[in-house]
Amino acid sequence: LHCIFAMLWTLTLLALLSSAAALDNGLARLPPLGWNTWCTLGTCGRDYCDEQEIREMTDVVATSGLKELGYEYINLDDCWASKRDEKGEITADPKRFPSGMKALADYIHSRGLKFGLYTDAGLNTCSNGERPYKIPGSYGHYEQDAQTYADWGMDFVKMDWCNTKVNGTQLQPEVQYPQMSKALNKTGRPIYFESCEWGVDQPWKWIAPYVNAWRATGDHHDDWDSTAGIIEDAANLESYAGPGQWNYLDFVMTGGQGCPNKEPGARCPGMTDEEYRTEFSLWVIVASPIIVATELRNMTAIMHEILFNAEMIAVHQDSLAKAGGRVDTPDCGSPEGPLVAGAPPCQVWARPLV
């Protein structure tokens, strides 16, 4: 066993309160749960999403029992967009989303769920989705895009941090994220806002007044080395989290990403069942938003076991809304060595509960 002991009962753990006030949009009083397109129909980073996939995934969440457990967001990651029109308005790819985003949002809302979109703070998004052109980011269009998202009925916006050098000058996240936050709030529609600059600028120290969650780590990949590194990065960040402001550890890979050949329903898991259990447990303990990025339409046994674990989700959604963290590193003489280089080989993690 990996030497992580996920103690999910109340311990005497004194957590410091964050000095920064949370974004005042009334959202994310508890860390959210949902699904994202990024790793479903291919290996992560190769997004082949389309309207049919989103509708089918919405139906699964709405009818399988996931919605009743608290999974509520259906999120499109990079590659949904096309180009800007003559008025500068961002448009959806007409081949992948022939009904348009407003109609898709209406469908998701009709199923009792919420809809989220991806954008980028810079000139272009991180990927072109195998198109022969770059997909526009929101730089120079923050207010325009925010209003478009609100008009479409969006409930969630993730803003990435690629292509952020403009005319030779590097943009600063401390400037750009507050601008987009203000633009979203100006629309009058409550929209959950997530930043994604990979924890490079220690966002937990300054970004809470502007977003509901921030990526506190680098990208999470479907392999144990990546997961162990994410866990180590999250070990001492619990004091910054709380209602409306959460450390986000990136997607949950439970069950495995899609396969390189893009065969519908195929999956190529990069971790063992034990490692997937550990992944989910640690995301729960640190109160990270849980956004599943794998295929839900033909769930494997380990996916059912983990994603439908009502006791774990009850801990994740505990009303005390206190994040946990690593509380001890006992000398256990583990023969397996550390999770990652330099990390303690045996660790005790805990989270305070009501």
3-state secondary structure the chain: CCCEEEECCCCCCCCCCCCCCCCCCCCCCCCCEEEECCCCCCCCCCCCCCHHHHHHHHHHHHHCCHHHHCEEEEECCCCCEEEECCCCCEEECCCCCCCCHHHHHHHHHHCCCEEEEEEECCCECCCCCCCCCCCECCCCCHHHHHHHHHHHCCCEEEEECCCCEECCEECCHHHHHHHHHHHHHHCCCCCEEEECCCCCCCHHHCCCCCCCEEECCCCCCCCHHHHHHHHHHCCCCHHHCECCEEEECCCECCCCCCCCCCCCCCCCCCCCHHHHHHHHHHHHHCCCCEEECCCCCCCCHHHHHHHCCHHHHHHHCCCCCCCCEEEECCCCCCCCCCCCCCCCCCEEEECCCC
Set 47, 77, 155, 160: catalytic member: 160
Set 50, 106, 201, 219: catalytic member: 219
**In contact, 187 and 216? CB cutoff 8 Å:** no
The answer to whether 219 is a known catalytic residue is yes
The answer to whether 201 is a known catalytic residue is no
**Residue 262 Rama label (left phi>0; alpha psi -120 to 50; beta):** left
Q: What does the alpha-carbon distance between residue 106 and residue 326 come to, in Å, rounded to a whole number?
A: 42
So which residues are the catalytic ones?
Answer: 160, 219
